[in-house]
Structure 1
Amino acid sequence: MSEHIEDIEIQLLLDALYRHYHYDFRHYARASIKRRLLQARDKWGFDSISAIQSAVLHDETMLPQLLDFLTVQVSEMFRDPGYFRALREQVVPHLRTYPSLKVWVAGCSNGEELYSLAILFAEEGLAQRTIFYATDINPAALKAAQAGIYPMDRIRLFTENHQLSGGRSSLSDYYTANYDRAIFDKSLRERTVFSDHSLVTDAAFGEMHLISCRNVLIYFDRALQDRAVGLFGESLARGGFLGIGSKESLRFSNQAAAFAPFVREQKIYRRKSL
Protein backbone atom coordinates (compact mmCIF):
# COMPACT_ATOMS: atom_id res chain seq x y z
CA MET A 1 0.00 0.00 0.00
CA SER A 2 1.32 3.45 -0.91
CA GLU A 3 2.24 5.98 1.73
CA HIS A 4 -0.23 8.39 0.14
CA ILE A 5 -3.11 5.95 0.69
CA GLU A 6 -2.01 5.40 4.31
CA ASP A 7 -2.01 9.15 4.92
CA ILE A 8 -5.59 9.37 3.59
CA GLU A 9 -6.63 6.47 5.83
CA ILE A 10 -5.10 8.17 8.86
CA GLN A 11 -6.95 11.42 8.18
CA LEU A 12 -10.24 9.57 7.74
CA LEU A 13 -9.71 7.65 10.98
CA LEU A 14 -8.90 10.81 12.95
CA ASP A 15 -11.95 12.54 11.48
CA ALA A 16 -14.10 9.55 12.44
CA LEU A 17 -12.76 9.51 16.01
CA TYR A 18 -13.63 13.17 16.37
CA ARG A 19 -17.07 12.99 14.78
CA HIS A 20 -18.21 9.81 16.54
CA TYR A 21 -16.39 9.85 19.89
CA HIS A 22 -15.32 13.52 20.19
CA TYR A 23 -11.64 12.64 20.67
CA ASP A 24 -9.63 15.09 18.61
CA PHE A 25 -6.20 13.87 17.47
CA ARG A 26 -6.30 15.79 14.19
CA HIS A 27 -3.60 18.24 15.27
CA TYR A 28 -1.25 15.79 16.92
CA ALA A 29 2.16 15.47 15.23
CA ARG A 30 1.36 13.29 12.25
CA ALA A 31 4.58 11.25 12.24
CA SER A 32 3.97 10.15 15.83
CA ILE A 33 0.30 9.34 15.18
CA LYS A 34 1.21 7.32 12.10
CA ARG A 35 3.83 5.31 13.99
CA ARG A 36 1.35 4.49 16.74
CA LEU A 37 -1.44 3.53 14.35
CA LEU A 38 0.88 1.21 12.44
CA GLN A 39 1.82 -0.42 15.75
CA ALA A 40 -1.88 -0.90 16.54
CA ARG A 41 -2.55 -2.32 13.07
CA ASP A 42 0.24 -4.86 13.41
CA LYS A 43 -0.67 -5.86 16.97
CA TRP A 44 -4.31 -6.43 16.07
CA GLY A 45 -3.47 -8.26 12.83
CA PHE A 46 -5.36 -5.85 10.58
CA ASP A 47 -4.31 -5.38 6.98
CA SER A 48 -4.92 -1.62 6.90
CA ILE A 49 -5.61 1.46 9.00
CA SER A 50 -9.06 1.55 7.40
CA ALA A 51 -9.72 -1.75 9.17
CA ILE A 52 -8.95 -0.04 12.48
CA GLN A 53 -11.48 2.66 11.63
CA SER A 54 -14.17 0.10 10.88
CA ALA A 55 -13.47 -1.84 14.06
CA VAL A 56 -13.50 1.23 16.31
CA LEU A 57 -16.67 2.67 14.79
CA HIS A 58 -18.58 -0.61 15.10
CA ASP A 59 -17.19 -1.88 18.41
CA GLU A 60 -16.96 0.63 21.25
CA THR A 61 -14.78 -1.74 23.28
CA MET A 62 -11.99 -1.06 20.78
CA LEU A 63 -11.86 2.65 21.65
CA PRO A 64 -9.99 2.33 24.99
CA GLN A 65 -7.45 0.07 23.34
CA LEU A 66 -6.89 2.58 20.56
CA LEU A 67 -6.57 5.43 23.07
CA ASP A 68 -3.79 3.51 24.79
CA PHE A 69 -1.87 3.56 21.50
CA LEU A 70 -2.59 7.21 20.70
CA THR A 71 -1.86 8.69 24.13
CA VAL A 72 1.53 8.61 25.81
CA GLN A 73 1.60 6.58 29.03
CA VAL A 74 5.34 6.20 29.52
CA SER A 75 6.77 8.19 32.41
CA GLU A 76 8.58 7.76 35.71
CA MET A 77 8.52 9.37 39.12
CA PHE A 78 10.80 12.40 39.49
CA ARG A 79 11.71 12.09 35.81
CA ASP A 80 14.54 14.52 35.01
CA PRO A 81 15.46 15.05 38.69
CA GLY A 82 16.98 18.46 37.96
CA TYR A 83 13.51 19.74 37.13
CA PHE A 84 12.17 18.75 40.53
CA ARG A 85 15.27 20.10 42.30
CA ALA A 86 14.68 23.44 40.56
CA LEU A 87 11.05 23.41 41.67
CA ARG A 88 12.13 22.62 45.22
CA GLU A 89 14.91 25.19 45.44
CA GLN A 90 13.69 28.03 43.23
CA VAL A 91 9.94 27.80 42.76
CA VAL A 92 8.79 26.58 46.17
CA PRO A 93 10.12 29.69 47.99
CA HIS A 94 7.71 31.78 45.89
CA LEU A 95 4.83 29.34 46.39
CA ARG A 96 5.28 29.56 50.16
CA THR A 97 4.03 33.14 50.03
CA TYR A 98 0.50 32.02 49.06
CA PRO A 99 -2.01 30.94 51.72
CA SER A 100 -3.45 28.35 49.36
CA LEU A 101 -2.18 26.77 46.16
CA LYS A 102 -3.52 25.13 43.03
CA VAL A 103 -1.32 22.84 40.94
CA TRP A 104 -2.36 21.38 37.59
CA VAL A 105 -0.68 18.26 36.22
CA ALA A 106 -1.84 18.37 32.59
CA GLY A 107 -1.57 15.10 30.71
CA CYS A 108 -1.02 13.20 33.95
CA SER A 109 -0.82 9.80 32.27
CA ASN A 110 -0.63 7.04 34.91
CA GLY A 111 0.12 9.49 37.70
CA GLU A 112 3.89 9.39 38.14
CA GLU A 113 4.24 13.17 37.80
CA LEU A 114 1.34 13.78 40.17
CA TYR A 115 2.79 11.61 42.93
CA SER A 116 6.22 13.16 42.44
CA LEU A 117 4.80 16.63 43.00
CA ALA A 118 2.59 15.47 45.89
CA ILE A 119 5.64 14.01 47.65
CA LEU A 120 7.72 17.11 46.97
CA PHE A 121 4.97 19.36 48.35
CA ALA A 122 4.60 17.11 51.40
CA GLU A 123 8.35 17.31 52.06
CA GLU A 124 8.24 21.09 51.74
CA GLY A 125 5.27 21.43 54.09
CA LEU A 126 2.89 22.67 51.41
CA ALA A 127 0.66 19.62 50.98
CA GLN A 128 -2.16 20.75 53.27
CA ARG A 129 -2.56 24.09 51.54
CA THR A 130 -2.48 22.66 48.00
CA ILE A 131 -5.16 21.26 45.72
CA PHE A 132 -3.85 19.22 42.80
CA TYR A 133 -5.71 18.82 39.52
CA ALA A 134 -4.66 15.77 37.51
CA THR A 135 -6.09 15.62 34.00
CA ASP A 136 -5.83 13.39 30.97
CA ILE A 137 -7.99 12.46 27.99
CA ASN A 138 -7.51 8.72 28.56
CA PRO A 139 -9.99 7.30 31.12
CA ALA A 140 -7.80 4.22 31.70
CA ALA A 141 -4.81 6.44 32.52
CA LEU A 142 -6.87 8.49 34.98
CA LYS A 143 -8.03 5.29 36.67
CA ALA A 144 -4.44 4.09 37.00
CA ALA A 145 -3.38 7.47 38.39
CA GLN A 146 -6.13 7.31 41.01
CA ALA A 147 -5.02 3.82 42.04
CA GLY A 148 -1.36 4.84 42.52
CA ILE A 149 -0.03 1.30 42.05
CA TYR A 150 3.24 0.66 40.22
CA PRO A 151 5.39 -2.42 39.59
CA MET A 152 8.08 -2.94 42.23
CA ASP A 153 10.71 -3.33 39.52
CA ARG A 154 10.27 0.41 38.75
CA ILE A 155 10.75 1.55 42.34
CA ARG A 156 14.54 1.47 42.26
CA LEU A 157 14.62 4.04 39.45
CA PHE A 158 11.93 6.13 41.18
CA THR A 159 14.00 6.08 44.39
CA GLU A 160 17.20 7.15 42.62
CA ASN A 161 15.37 9.99 40.89
CA HIS A 162 13.82 11.10 44.18
CA GLN A 163 17.21 11.26 45.87
CA LEU A 164 18.73 13.20 42.96
CA SER A 165 15.83 15.66 43.11
CA GLY A 166 16.83 16.64 46.64
CA GLY A 167 14.32 14.44 48.43
CA ARG A 168 14.13 15.13 52.16
CA SER A 169 12.83 11.68 53.10
CA SER A 170 12.86 8.09 51.92
CA LEU A 171 10.53 7.28 49.05
CA SER A 172 9.61 4.10 50.93
CA ASP A 173 7.84 6.31 53.47
CA TYR A 174 5.14 6.91 50.86
CA TYR A 175 4.29 3.42 49.62
CA THR A 176 3.54 -0.08 50.85
CA ALA A 177 5.17 -3.04 49.14
CA ASN A 178 2.73 -5.79 48.26
CA TYR A 179 4.47 -8.66 46.48
CA ASP A 180 5.39 -7.26 43.06
CA ARG A 181 3.51 -3.96 43.49
CA ALA A 182 4.11 -0.67 45.28
CA ILE A 183 0.91 0.94 46.50
CA PHE A 184 1.32 4.66 47.14
CA ASP A 185 -0.35 6.16 50.20
CA LYS A 186 -3.87 7.50 49.79
CA SER A 187 -2.88 10.66 51.65
CA LEU A 188 -0.88 11.73 48.58
CA ARG A 189 -4.07 12.04 46.53
CA GLU A 190 -6.61 13.03 49.15
CA ARG A 191 -6.40 16.65 47.93
CA THR A 192 -6.37 15.73 44.22
CA VAL A 193 -9.15 16.25 41.69
CA PHE A 194 -8.91 13.75 38.82
CA SER A 195 -10.66 14.94 35.69
CA ASP A 196 -11.00 14.29 31.99
CA HIS A 197 -9.64 17.32 30.16
CA SER A 198 -8.47 17.84 26.59
CA LEU A 199 -5.87 20.44 25.70
CA VAL A 200 -7.30 20.28 22.18
CA THR A 201 -10.90 21.23 22.85
CA ASP A 202 -11.45 22.21 26.51
CA ALA A 203 -11.24 25.59 28.19
CA ALA A 204 -8.93 27.05 30.83
CA PHE A 205 -8.71 25.09 34.06
CA GLY A 206 -9.01 27.42 37.05
CA GLU A 207 -6.42 29.87 38.37
CA MET A 208 -3.28 27.82 38.96
CA HIS A 209 -0.03 28.68 40.71
CA LEU A 210 1.93 25.88 39.01
CA ILE A 211 1.21 23.93 35.84
CA SER A 212 3.39 20.95 35.01
CA CYS A 213 2.85 19.61 31.50
CA ARG A 214 5.96 17.78 30.40
CA ASN A 215 6.57 15.74 27.28
CA VAL A 216 3.10 16.40 25.93
CA LEU A 217 3.62 19.37 23.61
CA ILE A 218 6.13 17.41 21.51
CA TYR A 219 3.23 15.28 20.28
CA PHE A 220 1.26 18.29 19.00
CA ASP A 221 1.61 20.20 15.76
CA ARG A 222 2.51 23.90 15.94
CA ALA A 223 -1.09 25.17 15.94
CA LEU A 224 -2.09 22.86 18.79
CA GLN A 225 1.05 23.73 20.74
CA ASP A 226 0.06 27.39 20.49
CA ARG A 227 -3.45 26.59 21.69
CA ALA A 228 -2.17 24.59 24.67
CA VAL A 229 0.36 27.23 25.71
CA GLY A 230 -2.34 29.90 25.41
CA LEU A 231 -4.57 27.76 27.62
CA PHE A 232 -1.80 27.53 30.22
CA GLY A 233 -1.38 31.29 30.17
CA GLU A 234 -5.12 31.76 30.74
CA SER A 235 -5.08 29.16 33.53
CA LEU A 236 -2.15 30.62 35.49
CA ALA A 237 -2.38 33.24 38.19
CA ARG A 238 -0.16 36.25 37.59
CA GLY A 239 3.35 35.21 38.47
CA GLY A 240 2.39 31.54 38.25
CA PHE A 241 4.82 28.94 36.97
CA LEU A 242 4.78 26.60 33.97
CA GLY A 243 7.05 23.58 33.60
CA ILE A 244 7.43 21.78 30.27
CA GLY A 245 9.55 18.91 28.99
CA SER A 246 13.29 18.96 28.46
CA LYS A 247 12.86 18.68 24.67
CA GLU A 248 10.14 21.31 24.52
CA SER A 249 10.35 25.09 24.20
CA LEU A 250 8.14 28.15 24.17
CA ARG A 251 10.59 30.01 21.97
CA PHE A 252 8.63 29.59 18.73
CA SER A 253 5.15 29.78 20.23
CA ASN A 254 2.82 32.64 19.36
CA GLN A 255 2.02 32.71 23.07
CA ALA A 256 5.63 33.05 24.24
CA ALA A 257 5.29 36.75 25.07
CA ALA A 258 3.09 35.90 28.06
CA PHE A 259 5.96 34.04 29.76
CA ALA A 260 9.45 34.79 31.01
CA PRO A 261 12.12 32.11 31.46
CA PHE A 262 12.53 31.41 35.18
CA VAL A 263 14.86 28.40 35.29
CA ARG A 264 15.90 28.28 31.66
CA GLU A 265 17.89 25.04 31.73
CA GLN A 266 14.96 23.14 33.32
CA LYS A 267 12.29 24.68 31.06
CA ILE A 268 10.45 26.42 33.88
CA TYR A 269 8.69 29.65 32.91
CA ARG A 270 6.79 32.31 34.83
CA ARG A 271 3.68 34.05 33.63
CA LYS A 272 4.31 37.74 33.28
CA SER A 273 2.27 40.18 35.32
CA LEU A 274 0.67 42.05 32.45
Structure 2
Amino acid sequence: MPNRKNTTLDIEQRLLIDAIYYKYHFDFRGYAQASLKRRLQAALIHFGCKTISQLQDRVLHERETFPALLEYLTVQVSEMFRDPSYFRALREQVVPLLRTYPSLKIWVAGCSAGEEVYSLAILLREEGLLERSLIYATDINPAALKKGEAGVYDIARMPASTENHAQSGARSSLSEHYSAAYGRVVFDKSLRKHMVFSDHSLATDSVFSEVQLVSCRNVLIYFDRELQDRALGLFKEALCRKGFLGLGAKESLLFSSHAASFDDFVLKDCIYQKKAVL
Protein backbone atom coordinates (compact mmCIF):
# COMPACT_ATOMS: atom_id res chain seq x y z
CA MET A 1 0.00 0.00 0.00
CA PRO A 2 1.44 3.43 -0.91
CA ASN A 3 2.42 5.80 1.85
CA ARG A 4 -0.67 8.00 2.16
CA LYS A 5 1.23 10.87 3.79
CA ASN A 6 3.82 10.99 1.01
CA THR A 7 1.10 10.79 -1.61
CA THR A 8 -0.68 13.75 -0.03
CA LEU A 9 2.56 15.73 0.12
CA ASP A 10 3.23 14.99 -3.54
CA ILE A 11 -0.26 16.13 -4.52
CA GLU A 12 0.07 19.31 -2.46
CA GLN A 13 3.44 20.04 -4.01
CA ARG A 14 2.13 19.60 -7.56
CA LEU A 15 -0.84 21.85 -6.81
CA LEU A 16 1.43 24.56 -5.39
CA ILE A 17 3.77 24.43 -8.39
CA ASP A 18 0.77 24.65 -10.73
CA ALA A 19 -0.64 27.57 -8.75
CA ILE A 20 2.67 29.42 -9.01
CA TYR A 21 2.76 28.83 -12.76
CA TYR A 22 -0.77 30.01 -13.44
CA LYS A 23 -0.68 33.03 -11.12
CA TYR A 24 2.90 34.25 -11.43
CA HIS A 25 4.10 32.54 -14.66
CA PHE A 26 7.14 31.01 -13.00
CA ASP A 27 7.46 27.44 -14.25
CA PHE A 28 8.92 24.95 -11.75
CA ARG A 29 7.02 21.98 -13.22
CA GLY A 30 10.17 20.59 -14.84
CA TYR A 31 12.37 20.92 -11.78
CA ALA A 32 13.54 17.82 -9.92
CA GLN A 33 10.73 17.16 -7.49
CA ALA A 34 12.90 15.67 -4.73
CA SER A 35 15.00 18.84 -4.63
CA LEU A 36 11.89 21.04 -4.61
CA LYS A 37 10.46 18.99 -1.76
CA ARG A 38 13.54 19.65 0.40
CA ARG A 39 13.39 23.37 -0.28
CA LEU A 40 9.66 23.54 0.40
CA GLN A 41 10.14 21.84 3.76
CA ALA A 42 12.56 24.63 4.72
CA ALA A 43 10.06 27.20 3.43
CA LEU A 44 7.28 25.75 5.59
CA ILE A 45 9.38 26.40 8.69
CA HIS A 46 10.18 29.94 7.60
CA PHE A 47 6.55 30.83 6.88
CA GLY A 48 5.18 28.98 9.92
CA CYS A 49 2.92 26.76 7.80
CA LYS A 50 2.03 23.22 8.82
CA THR A 51 1.20 22.05 5.29
CA ILE A 52 2.03 22.98 1.71
CA SER A 53 -1.67 23.68 1.20
CA GLN A 54 -1.46 26.41 3.84
CA LEU A 55 1.55 27.83 2.05
CA GLN A 56 -0.33 27.71 -1.26
CA ASP A 57 -3.18 29.71 0.24
CA ARG A 58 -0.73 32.41 1.31
CA VAL A 59 1.03 32.39 -2.08
CA LEU A 60 -2.30 32.95 -3.84
CA HIS A 61 -3.70 35.59 -1.47
CA GLU A 62 -0.72 37.45 0.03
CA ARG A 63 1.27 39.43 -2.51
CA GLU A 64 4.42 39.55 -0.40
CA THR A 65 4.64 35.76 0.12
CA PHE A 66 5.70 34.65 -3.36
CA PRO A 67 8.84 36.83 -3.68
CA ALA A 68 9.99 35.48 -0.31
CA LEU A 69 9.19 31.90 -1.35
CA LEU A 70 11.17 32.39 -4.56
CA GLU A 71 14.31 32.68 -2.44
CA TYR A 72 13.72 29.07 -1.36
CA LEU A 73 12.70 27.70 -4.77
CA THR A 74 15.76 29.06 -6.55
CA VAL A 75 19.22 27.97 -5.49
CA GLN A 76 21.41 30.95 -4.62
CA VAL A 77 24.67 29.19 -3.75
CA SER A 78 27.76 30.41 -5.56
CA GLU A 79 31.17 32.00 -5.07
CA MET A 80 33.80 33.82 -7.08
CA PHE A 81 35.85 31.55 -9.35
CA ARG A 82 34.03 28.48 -8.05
CA ASP A 83 35.85 25.33 -9.25
CA PRO A 84 39.07 27.16 -10.22
CA SER A 85 40.11 24.45 -12.69
CA TYR A 86 37.10 25.38 -14.84
CA PHE A 87 38.28 28.97 -15.07
CA ARG A 88 41.85 27.86 -15.70
CA ALA A 89 40.63 25.69 -18.58
CA LEU A 90 38.71 28.65 -19.99
CA ARG A 91 41.78 30.85 -19.64
CA GLU A 92 44.28 28.42 -21.14
CA GLN A 93 42.24 26.54 -23.75
CA VAL A 94 39.10 28.50 -24.64
CA VAL A 95 40.33 32.11 -24.50
CA PRO A 96 42.95 31.59 -27.24
CA LEU A 97 40.10 30.67 -29.60
CA LEU A 98 37.84 33.45 -28.35
CA ARG A 99 40.59 35.91 -29.30
CA THR A 100 39.85 35.19 -32.96
CA TYR A 101 36.45 36.93 -32.73
CA PRO A 102 36.25 40.70 -33.28
CA SER A 103 33.62 40.92 -30.52
CA LEU A 104 32.43 38.49 -27.89
CA LYS A 105 29.04 37.69 -26.43
CA ILE A 106 28.81 35.38 -23.43
CA TRP A 107 25.71 34.02 -21.73
CA VAL A 108 25.80 33.08 -18.04
CA ALA A 109 22.50 31.23 -17.56
CA GLY A 110 21.22 30.87 -14.00
CA CYS A 111 23.62 33.57 -12.83
CA SER A 112 22.26 33.78 -9.26
CA ALA A 113 23.70 36.90 -7.56
CA GLY A 114 26.39 37.35 -10.20
CA GLU A 115 29.55 35.87 -8.68
CA GLU A 116 30.36 33.87 -11.82
CA VAL A 117 29.60 36.88 -14.02
CA TYR A 118 32.16 39.02 -12.21
CA SER A 119 34.62 36.12 -12.25
CA LEU A 120 34.34 35.87 -16.04
CA ALA A 121 34.60 39.63 -16.46
CA ILE A 122 37.81 39.71 -14.40
CA LEU A 123 39.25 36.79 -16.37
CA LEU A 124 38.41 38.54 -19.65
CA ARG A 125 40.00 41.76 -18.40
CA GLU A 126 43.16 39.91 -17.42
CA GLU A 127 43.28 38.34 -20.89
CA GLY A 128 42.69 41.65 -22.68
CA LEU A 129 39.26 40.72 -24.01
CA LEU A 130 36.83 42.57 -21.75
CA GLU A 131 36.64 45.75 -23.81
CA ARG A 132 35.17 43.84 -26.74
CA SER A 133 32.94 41.59 -24.64
CA LEU A 134 29.34 41.66 -23.47
CA ILE A 135 28.12 39.23 -20.82
CA TYR A 136 24.43 38.41 -20.63
CA ALA A 137 23.60 37.34 -17.06
CA THR A 138 20.18 35.74 -16.68
CA ASP A 139 18.16 34.27 -13.85
CA ILE A 140 14.51 33.96 -12.82
CA ASN A 141 15.03 35.52 -9.39
CA PRO A 142 14.59 39.33 -9.47
CA ALA A 143 16.26 39.78 -6.07
CA ALA A 144 19.33 37.85 -7.20
CA LEU A 145 19.56 39.89 -10.41
CA LYS A 146 19.39 43.09 -8.38
CA LYS A 147 22.29 41.90 -6.21
CA GLY A 148 24.27 41.05 -9.31
CA GLU A 149 23.70 44.48 -10.81
CA ALA A 150 24.86 46.11 -7.57
CA GLY A 151 28.05 44.02 -7.44
CA VAL A 152 28.18 44.20 -3.64
CA TYR A 153 29.29 41.16 -1.62
CA ASP A 154 30.25 40.25 1.93
CA ILE A 155 33.93 40.90 2.57
CA ALA A 156 34.14 37.70 4.64
CA ARG A 157 33.84 35.72 1.39
CA MET A 158 36.84 37.37 -0.22
CA PRO A 159 39.68 35.24 1.24
CA ALA A 160 38.20 32.07 -0.33
CA SER A 161 37.44 33.94 -3.54
CA THR A 162 41.00 35.30 -3.65
CA GLU A 163 42.39 31.77 -3.31
CA ASN A 164 40.06 30.50 -6.05
CA HIS A 165 41.14 33.37 -8.29
CA ALA A 166 44.82 32.58 -7.76
CA GLN A 167 44.24 28.91 -8.61
CA SER A 168 42.50 29.92 -11.83
CA GLY A 169 45.79 31.26 -13.20
CA ALA A 170 45.19 34.88 -12.17
CA ARG A 171 47.25 37.65 -13.74
CA SER A 172 46.29 40.20 -11.08
CA SER A 173 45.18 40.43 -7.47
CA LEU A 174 41.44 40.09 -6.96
CA SER A 175 41.54 43.14 -4.69
CA GLU A 176 42.48 45.28 -7.69
CA HIS A 177 38.94 44.84 -9.00
CA TYR A 178 36.95 45.99 -5.97
CA SER A 179 36.87 48.53 -3.16
CA ALA A 180 36.09 47.55 0.43
CA ALA A 181 34.23 49.36 3.21
CA TYR A 182 31.89 48.57 6.11
CA GLY A 183 32.20 44.81 5.75
CA ARG A 184 31.31 44.82 2.04
CA VAL A 185 33.17 44.89 -1.25
CA VAL A 186 31.94 46.70 -4.35
CA PHE A 187 33.22 45.57 -7.73
CA ASP A 188 34.37 48.15 -10.27
CA LYS A 189 31.77 49.87 -12.41
CA SER A 190 34.14 49.33 -15.32
CA LEU A 191 33.34 45.61 -15.02
CA ARG A 192 29.59 46.16 -14.75
CA LYS A 193 29.36 48.19 -17.95
CA HIS A 194 30.10 44.97 -19.88
CA MET A 195 27.21 43.09 -18.24
CA VAL A 196 23.49 42.93 -18.91
CA PHE A 197 21.46 41.37 -16.09
CA SER A 198 18.05 40.20 -17.26
CA ASP A 199 15.14 37.96 -16.31
CA HIS A 200 15.10 34.77 -18.41
CA SER A 201 13.59 31.34 -17.75
CA LEU A 202 15.14 28.23 -19.24
CA ALA A 203 11.75 26.58 -18.78
CA THR A 204 9.65 29.00 -20.83
CA ASP A 205 11.75 31.60 -22.69
CA SER A 206 13.55 31.54 -26.04
CA VAL A 207 17.03 32.35 -27.27
CA PHE A 208 17.72 36.10 -27.39
CA SER A 209 21.17 36.38 -29.02
CA GLU A 210 23.95 34.48 -30.72
CA VAL A 211 26.90 33.95 -28.36
CA GLN A 212 30.37 32.43 -28.44
CA LEU A 213 30.25 30.97 -24.91
CA VAL A 214 27.45 29.71 -22.68
CA SER A 215 28.29 29.04 -19.04
CA CYS A 216 25.50 27.30 -17.14
CA ARG A 217 26.97 25.59 -14.12
CA ASN A 218 25.17 23.73 -11.34
CA VAL A 219 21.75 24.60 -12.73
CA LEU A 220 20.78 21.55 -14.79
CA ILE A 221 21.14 19.28 -11.76
CA TYR A 222 17.93 20.83 -10.42
CA PHE A 223 15.96 20.03 -13.61
CA ASP A 224 14.27 16.82 -14.70
CA ARG A 225 15.47 15.18 -17.92
CA GLU A 226 12.94 16.92 -20.16
CA LEU A 227 13.78 20.38 -18.89
CA GLN A 228 17.51 19.64 -19.10
CA ASP A 229 17.02 18.83 -22.77
CA ARG A 230 15.05 22.01 -23.32
CA ALA A 231 17.80 24.12 -21.75
CA LEU A 232 20.55 22.38 -23.70
CA GLY A 233 18.54 22.94 -26.87
CA LEU A 234 18.48 26.66 -26.11
CA PHE A 235 22.24 26.69 -25.56
CA LYS A 236 22.82 24.83 -28.85
CA GLU A 237 20.61 27.33 -30.68
CA ALA A 238 22.33 30.33 -29.08
CA LEU A 239 25.88 29.19 -29.72
CA CYS A 240 27.64 30.19 -32.90
CA ARG A 241 29.42 27.60 -35.02
CA LYS A 242 32.20 26.07 -32.89
CA GLY A 243 31.04 28.01 -29.81
CA PHE A 244 31.66 26.71 -26.29
CA LEU A 245 29.40 25.36 -23.55
CA GLY A 246 30.50 25.07 -19.92
CA LEU A 247 28.53 22.97 -17.43
CA GLY A 248 28.89 22.17 -13.73
CA ALA A 249 31.14 19.46 -12.33
CA LYS A 250 28.21 17.08 -11.78
CA GLU A 251 26.57 17.81 -15.13
CA SER A 252 27.08 16.18 -18.52
CA LEU A 253 25.78 15.99 -22.07
CA LEU A 254 26.11 12.21 -21.97
CA PHE A 255 22.41 11.33 -21.88
CA SER A 256 21.08 14.40 -23.67
CA SER A 257 19.37 14.27 -27.06
CA HIS A 258 21.70 17.15 -28.01
CA ALA A 259 24.93 15.28 -27.22
CA ALA A 260 25.64 14.60 -30.90
CA SER A 261 25.75 18.35 -31.58
CA PHE A 262 28.84 18.83 -29.39
CA ASP A 263 32.40 17.58 -29.15
CA ASP A 264 34.20 17.12 -25.85
CA PHE A 265 36.67 19.99 -25.49
CA VAL A 266 37.95 19.87 -21.90
CA LEU A 267 35.94 16.95 -20.60
CA LYS A 268 37.32 16.93 -17.06
CA ASP A 269 36.06 20.49 -16.61
CA CYS A 270 32.78 19.87 -18.49
CA ILE A 271 33.56 22.19 -21.40
CA TYR A 272 32.12 21.26 -24.80
CA GLN A 273 32.36 22.73 -28.28
CA LYS A 274 29.48 22.94 -30.72
CA LYS A 275 30.25 21.06 -33.90
CA ALA A 276 31.01 23.03 -37.04
CA VAL A 277 28.47 21.07 -39.10
CA LEU A 278 25.34 19.59 -37.53
TM-score, normalization: structure 1? 0.99
**202, 214, 218: which one pairs with 2:217?**
214
Q: Distance in 2 between matches of 1:73 and 1:188?
A: 22
Among candidates 8, 12, 17, match of residue 11 of structure 2: 8
- The CA distance in 1 between the partners of 2:272 and 2:63, in whole Å, is 40
Question: Deviations along 1:29-51, whole A, 9 cap, x unmatched?
Answer: 00000000011001211010011
Aligned: 1:192 with 2:195: yes
SS at match of 1:246: coil
Quote the sequence identity (%). Answer: 63
Is 1:115 the counterpart of 2:115? The answer is no
Measured in 2, the distance between the counterparts of 1:106 and 1:231 equals: 11
CA distance in 2, matches of 1:255, 1:151: 39
Shift of 1:261: 0.6
Q: What amino acid maps onto 1:171 in structure 2? A: L
Aligned equivalent of 2:109, options 106, 111, 127:
106
Q: Does 1:147 align with 2:147?
A: no
Q: Which structure 2 residues correspond to residues 83-94 of structure 1 after superposition, within 5 A?
A: 83-94=86-97
Q: Report what 2:271 is aligned to.
A: 268
Matches of 1:57 and 1:66, distance apart in 2: 12
Q: Compute the RMSD of aligned alpha carbons.
A: 0.7
2:85 to 64, 68, 82: 82
Residue type of the partner of 1:197?
H
* Cα-to-partner distance string for 1:178-232 (whole Å, 9 max, x where unaligned): 1210111111110211110000000013100001000000000000000000110
Deviations, residues 34-91 of structure 1 (Å, cap 9, x unaligned): 0000110012110100111110110121111111000011100000000000000000
Does residue 173 (structure 1) correspond to residue 176 (structure 2)? The answer is: yes
Equivalent residue letter for 1:104: W
Question: Among 70, 80, 84, which residue is 2:73 paired with?
Answer: 70
Q: For 1:185, give the aligned amino acid.
A: D
Instruction: Give the match for residue 31 of structure 1.
Output: 34
Partner of 2:226: 223
Q: Alignment partner of 2:120: what SS?
A: helix
Separation in 2, partners of 1:89, 1:15: 45
| 1:37-76 aligned within 5 A | 37-76=40-79
Whole-angstrom distance in 2 between the partners of 1:151 and 1:15: 36
The one-letter amino acid of 2:25's match is H
Instruction: Tell me, yes or no, if structure 1 residue 127 matches structure 2 residue 130.
Output: yes
Look up the equivalent residue of 1:43 and give its one-letter code: H
Q: In 2, distance between residues paired with 1:3 and 1:43?
A: 21
1:257 aligns with one of 237, 244, 260: 260
Structure 1 CA distance, aligned partners of 2:189 and 2:51? Answer: 44
Q: How does 1:234-249 map to 2 (within 5 A)?
A: 234-249=237-252
**1:127 offset after TM fit, Å?**
0.3
SS in 2 for 1:210: strand
Aligned-partner Cα distance in 2 for 1:143–1:83: 26
CA displacement, residues 145-171 of structure 1 (integer Å, 9 cap, x when unaligned)? 001111111000000000000010000
- Distance in 2, Cα, partners of 1:148 & 1:62: 26
State the Cα distance separating 1:119 from its structure 2 match: 0.1
Instruction: Give 2:61's aligned amino acid.
Output: H
Q: Distance in 2 between matches of 1:44 and 1:20?
A: 20
Q: C-alpha distance in 2, partners of 1:107/1:83?
A: 17
Q: Which runs of 5+ in 1 are unaligned?
A: none
Alpha-carbon distance in 1 for matches of 2:262, 2:62? 44
TM-score by length of 2: 0.98
